[in-house]
């Protein structure tokens, strides 16, 4: 069987379940988001150790503005806190941080923080960490199309792919969603066209290295056909071996 035996080059994660994790512990939802950052730090390290080149995480969606104002404010505070506390260590660990999403509605302070973090880590190459913040797949596609039109370029699949927010990395091989829901919630609508989808019942703050390895093992056992038949893939692999 032809399978995705390799480690995925690009893993994307919908980090869902922070609120429920906190509620289970009679804590405010924001405590779950704080714990979520701790788990993210561990996951970046774990992915780097497994030679995953790119990790993309969904941290705040275009639709999350609809949450109660105190939760939105709390999430902005956590982002600011993470920017001031975590970036130095990420820099030491060779993490290249990129923020993906619309910056229009963000405060000047946050925008400056994002720019600084990106500039400081721009030449790192151990792992790329894309943090999708104020991101939505529909925004991404419409935004790219708008840019092409403004540049008088044709709206083709190739041109769109090269203009989307994640144009600097290949499409995700594996999309993991924690928290039990089985939906994309407007995450990477274009880029996940052929991603393997993996749903974990674990809430994001409970996700750990063993859970990551279970997802990677399932990924490795899947057959990615990209529209072809299994026989074609076997023949392609045979040719590759002979070469």
Please identify the residue of the shown chain whose CB is closest to the bound Mg ion.
16
Dihedral pair phi/psi, residue 216, rounded to 5° = -65, -35
Please identify, using beta-carbon distances, which residue of 17 and 172 lies nearer to Mg ion.
17
Name which of residues 157 to 176 contact Mg ion (CB under 5 A). none
The answer to whether residue 16 forms part of the interface with Mg ion (CB under 5 A) is yes
Q: How many CB atoms lie within 10 A of CB 146?
A: 12
Name which of residues 198 to 237 contact Mg ion (CB under 5 A). none
The answer to whether residue 33 forms part of the interface with Mg ion (CB under 5 A) is no
Please identify, using beta-carbon distances, which residue of 16 and 196 lies nearer to Mg ion.
16
Return the one option of Mg ion, ligand IPE, none that residue 60 interacts with (CB less than 5 to 8 A, by type): ligand IPE
Contact between 16 and 182 under an 8 Å Cβ cutoff? The reply is no
The answer to whether residue 29 forms part of the interface with Mg ion (CB under 5 A) is no
Q: How far is the CB of 131 from ligand IPE (least distance, A)?
A: 10
User: Footprint of ligand IPE on this chain (CB under 6 A)?
Assistant: 14-20, 58-61, 64, 75, 179, 181, 183, 185
Q: Please identify every residue annotated as catalytic.
A: 16, 64
Contact between 127 and 98 under an 8 Å Cβ cutoff? The reply is no
* The one segment of 16-24, 78-86, 106-114, 157-165 that binds Mg ion by CB under 5 A: 16-24
Return the one option of ligand IPE, Mg ion, none that residue 185 interacts with (CB less than 5 to 8 A, by type): ligand IPE
Interaction site with Mg ion (CB under 5 A) = 16
């Amino acid at each position: 069987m032809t399978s995705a035996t390799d480690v995925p080059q690009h893993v994307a994660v919908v980090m869902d379940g922070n609120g429920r994790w906190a509620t289970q512990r009679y804590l405010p939802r924001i405590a779950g988001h704080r714990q979520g950052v701790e788990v993210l730090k561990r996951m970046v390290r774990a992915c780097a150790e497994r030679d995953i080149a790119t990790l993309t995480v969904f941290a705040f969606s275009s639709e999350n503005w609809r949450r109660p104002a105190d939760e939105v404010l709390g999430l902005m505070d956590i982002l600011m806190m993470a920017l001031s506390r975590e970036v130095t260590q990420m820099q030491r660990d060779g993490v290249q941080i990129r923020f993906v999403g619309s910056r229009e509605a963000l405060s000047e302070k946050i925008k400056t923080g994002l720019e600084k973090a990106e500039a400081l880590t721009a030449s790192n190459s151990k792992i790329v960490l894309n943090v999708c913040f104020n991101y939505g797949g529909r925004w991404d596609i419409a935004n790219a199309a708008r840019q092409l039109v403004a540049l008088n370029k044709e709206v083709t699949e190739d041109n769109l792919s090269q203009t989307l927010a994640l144009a600097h990395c290949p499409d995700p091989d594996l999309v993991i969603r924690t928290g039990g829901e089985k939906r994309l919630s407007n995450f990477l609508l274009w880029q996940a066209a052929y991603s393997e989808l993996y749903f974990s019942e674990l809430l994001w703050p409970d996700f750990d290295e063993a859970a990551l390895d279970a997802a990677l093992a399932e990924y490795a056992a899947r057959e990615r056909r990209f529209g072809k038949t299994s026989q074609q893939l076997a023949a392609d692999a045979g040719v590759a071996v002979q070469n």
